[in-house]
Structure 1
Amino acid sequence: MSDAALSEFVQAAAGEFGIPGVTVGVWTDGRESFASHGVTSIDHPLPVDEHTLFQIGSATKTFTATALMRLVADGRVALDAPVRRYVPELALADGKAAEAITVMQLLNHTSGLGWNVIVDTGDGDDALAGFVGRLAELEQVGRPGDRASYSQAAYNLLGRVVENVTGLTYERAVASLLFEPLGLSNSFFGTADVMTRRFAVGHNPDGNGTLAVAKEWRLTRGNNPGGGLASSASDVLAWARFHLGDGRTHDGEQLLPAGLLHRMREQTVELRGSNLGDGFGICWFLREVDGVRTIEHGGSANGQFAELVIVPERNFAVVALSNAGPDGIPFNRAAVRWALEHYLGVVDEDPEPLPYDGARAREVVGDYANDAMTLTVATDGAELTLAVTIKPEIRAAADFEMPADYEPAALGLLPGDGDEFIVTGGGLQGQRGYFSRDADGSVAGIDLGGRVFNRATAASA
Structure 2
Amino acid sequence: MKADKEHWASRLAALAAEYEVPGASLAFWSGGDLYECATGVLNTITGAAVRTDSLFQIGSITKVWTATQLMLLVEQGRLTLDTTVAEVLPGFRVGDRKATETITLRHLLTHTSGIDGDLFVDTGRGDDCLERYVTACATLEQTFPAGGSHSYCNSGFVIAGRVIEQVTGQVWDQALREQICAPLGLAHTWTLPEDVLRFSSAMGHGDDGGLAPTWGLPRSIGPAGLICASATDVVTFGRAHLTPGALLAEPAVMREPLVALPNPHCGGRQWGIGWSLDAWDGHQVAAHTGDTIGQHAALWVLPELETVVAVLVNGGRSVEFQHRLISELLHSLHQLTVPEPLAPPTEPVDVDTAAYTGVYERAGSRIQVSSHGGGLRLRTEPTGMLVGLAQPRTLDLTAVDATTFVGRSNGDATWDAVVFENRPGGPSYLHYSGRATPKTG
TM-score (norm 1): 0.89
Alignment check: 8 A CA contact 1:266 1:282 kept: yes
Query: What's the counterpart of residue 252 of structure 1?
Result: none
Distance 1:31 1:376, change over 3 A: farther
Select the residue among 315, 320, 326 that pairs with 2:311: 320
Are the structure 2 counterparts of residues 428 and 131 from structure 1 closer, same or farther at C-alpha, using a change threshold of 3 Å? farther
Q: Which residue of 2 aligns with 1:399?
A: none
Contact 1:406 1:427 in 2 (8 A): no
Instruction: Please say which of residues 213-222 and 303-312 is displaced more in the overlay.
Output: 213-222
Secondary structure of the corresponding residue to residue 24 of structure 2? strand
Deviation per residue, 1:168-224 (Å, 9 max, x gap): 00000010011001111101011110111110011113xxxx321113211111110
| 1:204/1:404 contact within 8 Å kept | no
Residue 210 of structure 2: aligned partner? 212
Kindly state the Cα deviation for residue 291 of structure 1 after the two structures are TM-superposed.
Answer: 1.7
Deviation (angstroms), 1:87: 0.8
- Alignment check: 8 A CA contact 2:29 2:35 kept: yes
Correspondent of 2:419 among 418, 423, 434: 434
Cα–Cα, structure 1 residues 220 and 394, in superposed 2: closer, same or farther, change >3 Å? closer
Residue 50 of structure 1 deviates from its aligned partner by 2.1
Query: Per the alignment, do residues 212 and 147 of structure 1 end up closer, same or farther by CA in structure 2, a change over 3 Å counting?
Result: same
In the TM superposition, what are the counterparts of 1:238-277 in structure 2 within 5 Å? 238-248=236-246, 255-258=247-250, 261-274=251-264, 275-277=266-268
CA distance in 2, matches of 1:203, 1:374: 25
Output aligned runs, 1:218-367, within 5 Å: 218-248=216-246, 255-258=247-250, 261-274=251-264, 275-324=266-315, 327-347=317-337, 348-354=339-345, 355-356=347-348, 359-367=351-359
1:368 aligned partner: 360
Report which stretch shifted further, 406-415 or 289-298: 406-415
What secondary structure does 1:27 align onto? strand
Distance 1:333 1:12 in 2: 14
3-state SS in 2 of match to 1:203: coil
Q: What are the within-5 Å matches in structure 2 for residues 6-405 of structure 1?
A: 6-205=8-207, 210-248=208-246, 255-258=247-250, 261-274=251-264, 275-324=266-315, 327-347=317-337, 348-354=339-345, 355-356=347-348, 359-378=351-370, 380-381=372-373, 384-391=376-383, 393-395=384-386, 402-405=388-391
Match of 1:445 in 2: 429
Q: Which amino acid aligns with 1:285?
A: S
SS of 2:145's equivalent? coil
Native 8 Å contact 2:120 2:221 kept in 1: no
AA at the equivalent of 2:271: F
Give, as a single letter, the amino acid of the residue that structure 1 aligns with 2:333. Y
Counterpart secondary structure, 1:213: coil
Partner SS, residue 139 of structure 1: coil
Amino acid at match of 2:284: R
CA drift of 1:4 comes to 2.9
Distance 1:310 1:28 in 2: 10
CA displacement at 1:16 relative to structure 2: 1.8
2: CA distance, partners of 1:139 / 1:337: 40
Q: Which runs of 5+ in 2 are unaligned?
A: none
Q: Is the 8 A contact 2:112 2:151 kept in 1?
A: yes
1:380 & 1:97 partners in 2: Cα distance?
38
Give the drift of 1:430. Answer: 4.1
Residue segments in structure 1 that go unaligned for 5+ positions in a row: 249-254, 397-401
SS in 2 for 1:204: coil
Q: Report the equivalent of 1:251.
A: none
Contact 2:154 2:224 in 1 (8 A): yes
Give the partner amino acid of 2:406: I
SS at match of 1:333: helix
TM-score of the two chains, using structure 2 as the length reference = 0.92
> Contact between 1:117 and 1:137, CA under 8 Å: does it hold in 2?
no
Report the Cα offset of residue 110 of structure 1: 1.0
Q: Is the 8 A contact 1:37 1:49 kept in 2?
A: yes
Contact 1:318 1:339 in 2 (8 A): no
2:399 to 409, 413, 416: 413
Are 1:307 and 1:319, in contact at CA under 8 Å, matched by a contact in 2? yes
Aligned letter for 1:320?
V
Equivalent pair of 1:272/1:433 in contact (CA under 8 Å)? no
| Secondary structure in 2 matching 1:134 | helix
Residue 319 of structure 1 aligns to a residue whose secondary structure is strand
1:140–1:370 CA distance, 2 compared to 1 (3 A): same
CA distance in 1, matches of 2:31, 2:190: 29
Hey, what's the Cα distance between the residues in 1 that align with 2:230 and 2:268?
A: 24
**CA offsets per residue over residues 261-285 of structure 1, 9 Å max, x none?**
1100001111133322111110101
Q: SS where residue 439 of structure 2 aligns? A: strand
Call closer, same or farther: CA 1:256–1:358 in 2, change over 3 Å: closer
Count of residue correspondences = 435
Instruction: State the 1:366 CA deviation.
Output: 4.2
Q: 2:9–2:37: 8 Å Cα contact kept in structure 1? A: yes
1:15 and 1:365 map into 2 onto residues whose CA distance is 40
Contact 1:26 1:339 (C-alpha < 8 Å) held by counterparts: no
- The 8 Å contact of residues 329 and 428 in structure 1, kept in 2 or not, is answered as no
Deviates more, 1:331-340 or 1:379-388: 379-388
Question: Is the contact made by 1:24 and 1:335 (CA closer than 8 Å) also made in structure 2?
Answer: no
Cα distance change, pair 297–428 in 1 and its aligned pair in 2 (3 A):
farther
Seen in structure 2, the aligned counterparts of structure 1 residues 99 and 375 have a Cα distance that, compared at 3 Å, is same
| CA distance in 1 between partners of 2:148 and 2:319 (Å) | 30
Q: Equivalents in 2 of 1:32, 1:383: separation in Å?
A: 49
Secondary structure of 1:155 counterpart: helix
Partners of 2:273 and 2:182 lie apart in 1 by 23
Identity %: 31
Cα distance change of structure 1 residues 385 and 48 upon mapping to structure 2, 3 Å threshold: farther
Conservation of the 8 A alpha-carbon contact between 2:42 and 2:49: yes
The two structures, once aligned, show a CA RMSD in angstroms of 2.2
